[in-house]
Amino acid sequence: MNRPFRYVIMGMIVLMTVINYVDRGAISYAQAAIIKEFGLNPVTWGDVLGYFGYGYMFGALFGGALADKKGPKFVWLLAGTLWSIFEIGTAYAGNIGMALFGGSALAGFALFRILFGLTEGPVFSTINRTMANWAAPKERGFAASIGLLGTPLGALLTAPIAVALLSIVNWRTMFIILGIAGLLWVLIWSRMFTDLPENHPRVSKEEVAEIRSSKELLNTEVTLEQSNRAHVPWYHFFNNPTLIMNAVGYFAFQYVNFLILTWTPKYLQDTFHFKLASLWYLGMIPWIGACFTVLLGGRLSDFLRRRTGSLRVARSGLAVISLLLTAICFLLIPTVHSVGAVLLLMAVGNAFNFLPNSVYWTVIVDTEPSKAGTFGGVTHFFTNIATVVAPTLTGRLVAGSGYQAMFVAAAVAAAIGMIAMMFVKPGRRENPVG
């Protein structure tokens, strides 16, 4: 029996997400050279990192709706091409700012980081649209976790890839190489992906039947076909407390995630005086556990769904416990003083943070699969306020109160997300719109 082709598609999405995350995280390892060349400080460097989020929010919002309207393939190819071009452009951002914006390198980085964020923004809402099209209801949790595996895996690989490139070429050439890698992925993806499994020559009729099967559905679940029968306007998102609270929970995840991604290299260099050559392995440590828990969380969520028959236990309950443990770990970091203890707590806390990563997306598909892209985009818009707040606020916290304050802020964010997820009740709407 041939292996289901949908897992090949999911594997390619993992590769794409790895490229996506390496592209966005590499700048953190070039920080010393960029700060020195353009005379930046912790506050302005926090601003550089935060500019990405302004574009990312709106890219997520419009990208999800575009994926529902035009199909995920169109968005994949458009977004992948553009973010790769802007990644290459980042190599010249500071010089362009100095030439065109009154000698302000910061303005140049603002322009390119915003555009880069805008074009990376559609990725995860488009993954959600793709998974709604390609995954059977009984495997939604695991399918979402496979798509999201590229997040911690990409963050983990960012350190060795960025440090290796920076040891061979300068920081500008690093951005150019990474952008070219993204363009190569786009070319391959354009030849092997279709919006629906029904349209793919390598997907058998038996696999399509399995994906579209209504067997083993819970009474709160619907298939993609059943969901498409009702018209659901985009603004229905704001009438659904479950979707709103789910977005708050996801914000907490993203705050912790982006804090670690953007500030860990500088924290290690400033606090423990590590050189760039040491960061290739130290920068990986906070992400090792997360690479396993992101998949475990999807499996565990689907297992709880089968055993309890309750989406609330399987999705919301898992997130509540995980965020509580995340908050505890980050709250403990200021109480320890060795680099080993700090990295251990960061790794364990981040592993718990990623355990329910698939839940936030699965809740959307569980609740309204026909709007998986649109509602995923709205969710990601509000979630990605954290991609601005986390690096920008951290720059100010570090300047005013030191690095311990950034870990306390991460614990507070996780606690807020935990409370929000207590109110999430995923599943079919009792009173459909339309």
Which percentage of the chain shows pLDDT scores above 90? 68
- What was the pLDDT predicted at 236? 84
- What was the pLDDT predicted at 52? 93
Q: DSSP letters along 266-278, please? A: HHHHHHH---GGG
- What was the pLDDT predicted at 148? 82
431: pLDDT strictly greater than 90: no
Q: What is the mean pLDDT of residues 289-294?
A: 95
Q: Choose between 26 and 276: higher pLDDT.
A: 26
Cα–Cα dist 15/23, whole Å: 12
Q: How do residues 309-362 score in pLDDT, each as one tens digit?
A: 898 999 999 999 999 999 999 999 999 989 999 999 999 999 999 999 989 988
User: In the structure, what pLDDT confidence band is assigned to residue 276 with cuts at 50, 70 and 90?
Assistant: confident
- What was the pLDDT predicted at 434? 37
- What was the pLDDT predicted at 144? 78
- What was the pLDDT predicted at 87? 97
76: pLDDT strictly greater than 80: yes
Confirm if 26 and 174 have CB atoms less than 8 A apart: yes
383: pLDDT strictly greater than 80: yes
185: pLDDT strictly greater than 60: yes
Q: What is the mean pLDDT of residues 419-434?
A: 73
433: pLDDT strictly greater than 50: no
Distance of CA 215 to the CA centre of its chain: 31
Highest mean pLDDT among 31-45, 143-157, 227-241: 31-45
Q: What is the mean pLDDT of residues 84-112?
A: 96
Q: How far is CA 264 from CA 276, 283, 343, in A?
A: 12, 7, 10
175: pLDDT strictly greater than 90: yes
428: pLDDT strictly greater than 70: no
User: In the structure, what pLDDT confidence band is assigned to residue 226 with cuts at 50, 70 and 90?
Assistant: low
Distance of CA 431 to the CA centre of its chain: 31
- What was the pLDDT predicted at 1? 47
Question: Which CATH superfamily, name and number, covers 6-197+236-421?
Answer: MFS general substrate transporter like domains (1.20.1250.20)
Distance of CA 33 to the CA centre of its chain: 27
Cα–Cα dist 391/363, whole Å: 27
Q: Cβ atoms within 10 A of the Cβ of 236, count?
A: 18
Q: Over the chain, what is the mean pLDDT?
A: 90
Cα–Cα dist 131/127, whole Å: 6
Of 19-23, 92-96, 212-216, 309-313, the poorest mean pLDDT is in 212-216
The burial class, CB within 10 Å (0-12 / 13-18 / 19+), for 269 is: middle
Cα–Cα dist 357/1, whole Å: 32
Cα–Cα dist 284/186, whole Å: 27
Q: Choose between 229 and 325: higher pLDDT.
A: 325
What ranges do the domains of the chain cover? 6-197+236-421
